[in-house]
């Protein structure tokens, strides 16, 4: 309760005797000491109402800068810092059936660096058969066919079936082959013996 309200209540308690001069009404005179006290209190209250409250340093600076928004303005509440948002984990699904096709660089393209040496992978098995093919070309015609058949069998092909031959003819052919082999063997042995005899005679004559 402010000081002016107290003064008004005290005036109501004394009544209108101070303001009314009618003779018919009861004259309730107020003592001089109480009247002086009330008068001093009322003057102080008026001064308090008229005099503005002392300005703080912040308010004075606002008035000088023209930033005064009024005394009744409510203080602005400090904004609470927002809580950091939680990052939701992202899961990426890669379909294993859909594989990325790597682009194979073409020979002679502009993107390739011609100066950089490219590693060459040698397939020794293929190189071996290429050499055999080249060697087959230098053989005679019947031997060339046999060599091609042998190479095909070596690579995994089925060997050709033998021709049908009569049993008696087959036995005779084998006997002939054996006889020829024996004759060749005897010729080789005789040649070897002749060479040995010549060497022995040469050594004996040298001594």
Q: Which two tokens stand for residue 172?
A: 């005779």
Q: Say how many C-beta atoms besides its own lie within 10 A of residue 26's C-beta.
A: 7
- Give pLDDT tens digits for 118-134: 555 668 888 888 888 88
The residues, any chain, with a CB within 8 Å of residue 4's CB and separated by 6 or more, are 45, 49
Give the chain's mean pLDDT: 72
Name the pTM for this structure.
0.25
- Predicted pLDDT of residue 100: 64
pLDDT of residue 50: 59
Residue 73 pLDDT level (bands cut at 50, 70, 90): very low
Between 135 and 21, the more confident residue is 135
- Which residue intervals of the chain are DSSP H helices? 3-14, 32-50, 57-65, 124-136, 141-155, 167-206
Nearest by Cα to 147 from 168, 133, 166, 165:
133
**Tokens, residue 13:** 């308690």
Report whether pLDDT(27) > 50: no
- CA 89 – CA 82 distance, rounded (Å): 21
């Amino acid at each position: 309760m402010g000081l002016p309200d107290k003064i008004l209540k005290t005036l109501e308690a004394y009544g209108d005797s101070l303001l009314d001069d009618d003779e018919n009404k009861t004259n309730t005179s107020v003592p001089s000491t109480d009247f002086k006290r009330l008068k001093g209190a009322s003057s102080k209250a008026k001064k308090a109402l008229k005099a503005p409250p002392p300005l703080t340093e912040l308010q004075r600076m606002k008035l000088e800068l023209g930033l005064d928004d009024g005394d009744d303005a409510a203080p602005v509440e400090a904004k609470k810092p927002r809580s950091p948002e939680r990052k939701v984990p992202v899961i990426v699904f890669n379909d294993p059936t859909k594989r990325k096709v790597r682009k194979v660089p073409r020979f002679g393209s502009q993107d390739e660096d011609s100066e950089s040496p490219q590693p060459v992978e040698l397939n020794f098995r293929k190189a071996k058969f290429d050499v055999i093919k080249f060697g087959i070309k230098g053989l005679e015609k019947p031997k060339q066919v046999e060599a091609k058949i042998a190479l095909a069998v070596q690579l995994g092909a089925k060997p050709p079936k033998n021709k049908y031959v009569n049993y008696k003819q087959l036995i005779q052919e084998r006997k002939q082959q054996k006889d020829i082999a024996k004759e060749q063997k005897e010729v080789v042995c005789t040649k070897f013996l002749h060479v040995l005899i010549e060497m022995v005679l040469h050594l004996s004559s040298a001594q």
